[in-house]
Amino acid sequence: MREVTVTVDLKGKNYLTNVIADHDTPDEEILEIARDQVMKQWTL
């Protein structure tokens, strides 16, 4: 497992989030997970 810090642009603002993923997880999938995390946080 590895921890990746990702910057996500949402509605003109930048958000930092951490994603924990396997070493063989593609970057695109990590970015998708990060976007989902930020969206869930701000739609509560």
The domain total for the chain is 1
The model's pTM is 0.85
Q: What is the pLDDT of residue 44?
A: 65
Q: What is the pLDDT of residue 15?
A: 95
- 1-44 per-position pLDDT tens digit: 999 999 999 889 999 999 999 999 999 999 999 999 999 988 76
d(CA 36, CA 23): 20
Tokens 């593609």, residue located: 26
Its domain, for residue 10, covers: 2-42
